[in-house]
Structure 1
Amino acid sequence: MERLESFLAEASSLAWGMPLLILLMGGGLFLMLYCRFVPFRHLSHSIEILSGKYVDPNAPGQISPFQAMSSALASTIGMGNISGVAVGIAMGGPGVLFWMWMSAIVGMATKFFTCTLSVMYRGRNERGEVEGGPMYMVTEGLGQKWKPLSILFAAAGLIGTLPLFQSNQLTQIVRDVVLRPSGLVGDDVFLPNLFMGIALAFPVAIIMFGGLKRIANVATKLVPLMVILYTGSVLYIIGVNVSAVPHMFALIFEDAFTGNAMMGGAVMQVIIMGARRASFSNEAGIGTAAMMHGESQTNEPVREGLVAMLEPFIDTIIVCTMTGLAILVTGVWETHSDNGVSMTAQAFDAAMPVMGKYLLVICVFIFAFTSLFSYCYYGSKCFTYLFGFKYRRLYDYFYILTVIIGAVATITSVINLIDTAFALMAIPTMTCALVMSPRVMAAAKDYFARMKEEKKVAVVK
């Protein structure tokens, strides 16, 4: 196990080197400038689309734009927001938050391009059903000679969308907050973790065997609830420690450019850690959200891109920032614990004694479950793209098995494995976005011209 953990750590470090940082953050910055800040200039129109104003029931696709966004947010607003942020702060210091913000800002443009392309270049699976995602963007948009990139994405996606992290952290918080204080668990945690993993696998199996529409329906109901419950709790923690907020913001900005707090002055390591945790949280440039938005019921690719671009803002700028501030203002980040969810639980307990940590357990359950539902859909799409539907059930059983494996694995090995897979997924996704960016801009120019004309006609009437 030590050799495996060492190998995964080395693989993660190698994958998240300077080339990938340039591709993700540099590529995102280029796209933001190239589209002339579309994500910020058309926020109001994005909200109009979400309201259902432009829904076309006759358009191809399986789910509405709101369901697509809810399902995508079900995976992005998840454990990356609760424990991923804490892991980043523990390993890279408060400055990680600043670079998460920067990644999210450019990530809004990245998602606009990738999710627009996911609808522009949808393909069909062996059943003749409309499918979207980076694997189809490559073959339908760039041609069959680029297919190795599709295979790379699907193969990495099989690993990156496994439920290891969610299962691991859910098991961790139940053990630390509920079982250990009750005296039900001692130092040997393998068997308790195993039993919790098995218990978690059952409801996951029930939902995932229901297919995309059941996943979308569950996500649509749970996402608003989890956002309200979690953000309300975190805002309370920040509110009772509001006097510390200005100092913490100053510390975030200072540490972002010095790295002195945790990394011994290694600013580049702080930047890389921020990019890694942001990509795990909002998945901009990774390609998972493009798979979900590719299923949206719409004939307007640009419209779907405008919906998708809201996700990094909601996920990272709002939710991750609140989590980070809760951890910083309560002072628990100075414990240097690298087990993310335990650190967040300490912050909740410090601000809301007795009740706080149990409230977080409820939030973690909702966050983890919604992530598990979306991830099983992403993984099954990657599997069927590579192997077809004939052996699809094998993947479902494997996915359920990894829920149990994640419960007993170490957090370090889980994070390094998922980070490596995400890095590999980003290569084909960002390549598509950059190479085909002129096509997206041409489509955007046409779309906004038609919208402007429609408004003129409406005013005349």
Structure 2
Amino acid sequence: MLKTIETINTVVNNFVWGVPAMICIIGVGLLLSIRTRFIQIRKFPYAIKTTIGRMFRKKEASDGAMTPFQAVCTALAATVGTGNIAGVAGAIAIGGPGAVFWMWVSALLGMCTKFSEVTLAVHFREKNEQGDFVGGPMYYIKNGLGKHWQWLAVLFSAFGVLTVFGTGNATQANTITTAVNSALLNYNIIQDSQTDFCNLLIGIIITILVALVLFGGVKRIGKVTEKLVPFMALLYILLALGVVLLHIENVPSVFRMIFEGAFSPSAVTGGAVGSFFLSMQKGVSRGIFSNEAGLGTGSIAHACADTRKPVQQGLFGIFEVFTDTIVICTLTALVILCSGVPVSYGSAAGAELTISGFTATYGNWVSIFTAVAMCCFAFSTIIGWGLYGARCIEFLFSSKVIRPFMLVYSLVSILGTTMDLGLLWSIAETFNGLMAIPNLIALFLLSGTVVRLVQNYFEPSAR
């Protein structure tokens, strides 16, 4: 039975993340970029100035909403996760260093895609029975495209509910146990025979913490993420920059490997990775897996923001993809490639490759800090995706099912820490990709609305 499921999932996964998907994701990003006259480049300085300025502005959100900063932290909580650590490592191992170049390309277009998603989410959002702002792809499909497209909104929400348990929770909880066990075993605090009990204990702790945050509603989610995300991102960036600075002499050759490997991967990997398309596919898919541009999920958090200006909140989408992929994912790649750790090109790799880059530079003591960073990344992702799942299931049924959903979602953490998740990782990636299909169709059809909103914001005299 499991073999059959695995075979079916492999076929679907290869299609979802294959040539058609790459064309659609890059194509929609390019279309939006052209129609907005590459707003992510043209208005990049303005976007950074505006978003950073609003981050440090102390303001309490109204009832049922988050501050704009809390909204972006919640979205970053879901995106800055294991994709930045394990995902980048896997892309380099399977696709070669050139995969990093294609990650940058997907991020450049993804900035405009996410800007459009956030702008539409705030513009077409509504209030639920509790008075909370709700929005995202299902709502801009419903309110922007009309009742004839309702099935598309239902499809997105259904895929969203199926995705959150795997991508958002179980796999993240599993990453936490891997990080904690690695650190504890490294210092002989526990033995191999004790890891099963340790995993169960970690699962129970995660379940309690997740439930405490999620049952507090959007206010508590926002307050937790605005503290946790800046801390974890800064800690990771400082550690990664240290590796790069200590191996600064390797940086020029690393960038040469990235650019050369993007178009001729076999020349850099010694023939282990011979396919140009494989390098591009892994770079694009892992980039999207990390920053979620095209999936539409991040816009669900941004729709909770206490703001009246959709485009202004949309600028956070540009900042978000830039921070997640151009900054953090690039630093992860440099940690691996600059540190000189051996990479088995053509074979799968995960967080252990990134961790080895840190330990090769600093020594084993740094495993404690990398474990803390990975736990923060994974826990914040569980919280962010908990909000996404709650909004999706609320759209499908009603707000009455939110609390039962959150209870079940919290308990999934125990399964994630105690079970082998080999197949679940693959299934989660498949559903993750399926979410992009209805969202990309909506973005294509609503691209004119994005252009109009941009013109009204930046060129009010042209109205």
Asked if the contact 2:64/2:218 (under 8 Å) is kept, the reply is no
Asked if the contact 2:175/2:375 (under 8 Å) is kept, the reply is no
- Larger mean CA deviation between 313-322 and 438-447 belongs to 438-447
Q: Residues of 1 paired with 2:60 and 2:341: CA distance?
A: 50
1:329 to 325, 329, 338: 338
Is residue 39 of structure 1 aligned with residue 40 of structure 2?
yes
Q: Paired residue for 2:243?
A: 237
Q: CA deviation at 1:197?
A: 2.0
2:86 to 80, 83, 97: 83
Structure 1 gaps of 5+ residues are: 454-461
Is residue 27 of structure 1 aligned with residue 28 of structure 2?
yes
1:254 to 244, 260, 265: 260
- Larger mean CA deviation between 193-202 and 432-441 belongs to 193-202
Q: CA deviation at 1:410?
A: 4.0
Asked if the contact 1:73/1:315 (under 8 Å) is kept, the reply is yes
Deviations 1:1-37 (A, max 9, x none): 5554444333322221211111111211121122111
Q: Residues of 1 paired with 2:461 and 2:215: CA distance?
A: 40
Q: Paired residue for 1:430?
A: 440
Structure 2 gaps of 5+ residues are: none
Asked if the contact 2:311/2:457 (under 8 Å) is kept, the reply is yes
Q: Paired residue for 1:279?
A: 288
Is residue 133 of structure 1 aligned with residue 106 of structure 2?
no
2:157 to 137, 154, 157: 154
Q: 1:173 to 1:6 in 2, by over 3 A?
A: farther
> What RMSD, in angstroms, separates the aligned Cα atoms of the two structures?
2.5
Scaled by the length of structure 2, the TM-score of the pair is 0.91
Amino acid at match of 2:359: D
Q: Residues of 1 paired with 2:61 and 2:360: CA distance?
A: 52
1:364 to 358, 374, 384: 374
Q: 1:422 to 1:325 in 2, by over 3 A?
A: same
Q: CA deviation at 1:44?
A: 3.3
Q: Residues of 1 paired with 2:353 and 2:421: CA distance?
A: 13
Q: Residues of 2 paired with 1:282 and 1:352: CA distance?
A: 28
Q: Paired residue for 2:124?
A: 121
Q: Residues of 2 paired with 1:263 and 1:147: CA distance?
A: 46
Identity %: 35
Q: Paired residue for 2:102?
A: 99
Q: Paired residue for 1:458?
A: none
Amino acid at match of 2:329: C
Q: Residues of 2 paired with 1:54 and 1:170: CA distance?
A: 33
Deviations 1:381-430 (A, max 9, x none): 11111121222222112211221222234454233122211211111211
Q: Paired residue for 1:13?
A: 14
Is residue 296 of structure 1 aligned with residue 305 of structure 2?
yes
Q: Paired residue for 1:172?
A: 178
Q: 1:363 to 1:54 in 2, by over 3 A?
A: closer
2:417 to 407, 415, 429: 407
- Larger mean CA deviation between 262-271 and 168-177 belongs to 262-271
1:182 to 182, 188, 191: 188
Asked if the contact 1:60/1:298 (under 8 Å) is kept, the reply is no
Asked if the contact 1:107/1:312 (under 8 Å) is kept, the reply is yes
Amino acid at match of 1:324: A
Is residue 347 of structure 1 aligned with residue 357 of structure 2?
yes
- Larger mean CA deviation between 312-321 and 18-27 belongs to 18-27
Deviations 1:350-380 (A, max 9, x none): 0100222111011112111211111111111
Is residue 382 of structure 1 aligned with residue 392 of structure 2?
yes
Is residue 206 of structure 1 aligned with residue 197 of structure 2?
no
Q: Residues of 1 paired with 2:132 and 2:206: CA distance?
A: 31
Give 3-state SS (helix, strand or coil) of 2:399's partner.
coil
Q: Residues of 1 paired with 2:195 and 2:132: CA distance?
A: 45
Asked if the contact 1:153/1:425 (under 8 Å) is kept, the reply is yes
Asked if the contact 1:79/1:368 (under 8 Å) is kept, the reply is yes
Q: CA deviation at 1:445?
A: 0.9
Q: Paired residue for 1:457?
A: none
Q: 1:31 to 1:263 in 2, by over 3 A?
A: farther
Q: Residues of 2 paired with 1:190 and 1:24: CA distance?
A: 41
Asked if the contact 1:256/1:270 (under 8 Å) is kept, the reply is yes
Give 3-state SS (helix, strand or coil) of 2:293's partner.
coil
**Equivalent residue pairs, number:** 453
Q: Residues of 2 paired with 1:204 and 1:60: CA distance?
A: 22
2:314 to 301, 305, 312: 305
Q: 1:211 to 1:60 in 2, by over 3 A?
A: closer
Q: CA deviation at 1:234?
A: 0.4
Q: Paired residue for 2:74?
A: 71
